[in-house]
Amino acid sequence: MKRKVLGVLLSVAMVATLVAGCGSSSSSTTSTDTAADTEETTTDDAAAADTADESADTAAAGGKIGISMPTQSLERWNRDGAYLDEQFQAAGYETVLTYSDNDSARQVNDIQNMLADGVDLLIVAAIDGEALNTAMNEAADAGVPVIAYDRLILNDAVSYYVSFDNYSVGTLQGQFIVDTLDLENAGDKVYNMEITAGDPADNNAPYFYQGAMDVLQPYIDAGTLNVVSGQTDFDTVATAQWSTDTALERAQNILSSYYADGTQLDVWLCSNDSTALGVSQAVTSDYAGSNTVLITGQDGDEANLKNIVDGIQTMTVYKNVSNESVVTLGLAQAILNGDTIDESLIPSFGIECSYDVESYETSEGNPCPSFLLVPNVITKDNLQDLVDTGLYTMGEDGYLSAVQ
Ligand code: BGC
The structural domains of the chain, ordered by start, are: 43-165+320-375 (3.40.50.2300), 166-298 (3.40.50.2300)
In this prediction, residue 62 has a pLDDT band, given cuts at 50, 70 and 90, of confident
Strands (E) across 34-145 are located at 41-44, 64-69, 94-99, 121-124
Q: Is 298 in the pocket of ligand 1 (CB under 6 A)?
A: yes
| φ, ψ dihedrals at 106, nearest 5° | -70, -35
Residue nearest to atom 3 of ligand 1 (CA): 272
Structural contact between residues 245 and 52, judged by C-beta atoms closer than 8 angstroms: no
Q: How far is the CA of 139 from the centre of ligand 1 (A)?
A: 24
Structural contact between residues 117 and 96, judged by C-beta atoms closer than 8 angstroms: yes
The pLDDT tens digits for 19-34 are 222 222 222 333 333 3
Q: Is 150 in the pocket of ligand 1 (CB under 6 A)?
A: yes
- Ligand 1 atom with the shortest distance to the CA of 125: 7
What's the mean pLDDT in 77-101? 97
Question: Does the pLDDT at position 2 exceed 80?
Answer: no
| C-alpha 158 chain-centroid distance | 18
| Beta bridge partners of residue 298, listed in sequence order | 317
Q: Is 151 in the pocket of ligand 1 (CB under 6 A)?
A: yes
118: left (phi over 0), alpha (psi -120 to 50) or beta: left
Q: How far is the CA of 258 from the centre of ligand 1 (A)?
A: 29
pLDDT more than 90, % of the chain: 84
Q: How far is the CA of 316 from the centre of ligand 1 (A)?
A: 12
Mean pLDDT of the chain: 88
In this prediction, residue 298 has a pLDDT band, given cuts at 50, 70 and 90, of very high
Residue nearest to atom 6 of ligand 1 (CA): 204
Q: Is 250 in the pocket of ligand 1 (CB under 6 A)?
A: no
Q: Is 71 in the pocket of ligand 1 (CB under 6 A)?
A: no
CA distance 289 to 285: 11
Question: Does the pLDDT at position 356 exceed 60?
Answer: yes
The pLDDT tens digits for 221-237 are 999 999 999 999 999 99
Q: Is 244 in the pocket of ligand 1 (CB under 6 A)?
A: no
Q: Which of 83, 161, 168, 202 to mutate to test the pocket of ligand 1 (most atoms within 8 A of CB)?
A: 202
Q: Is 74 in the pocket of ligand 1 (CB under 6 A)?
A: yes
Confirm whether pTM is higher than 0.75. yes
Q: Going edge to edge, which strands form the sheet with 191-196?
A: 225-227, 191-196, 267-270, 294-295
CA distance 41 to 32: 8
CA distance 369 to 402: 31
CA distance 177 to 250: 21
Amino acid at 353: C
The pLDDT tens digits for 160-218 are 999 999 999 999 999 999 999 999 999 999 999 999 999 999 999 999 999 999 999 99
**Residue 40 confidence (pLDDT):** 54
Q: Which of 371, 378, 385 is nearest to 341 (CA)?
A: 371
| DSSP SS3 for 224 | coil
**Residue 41 confidence (pLDDT):** 56
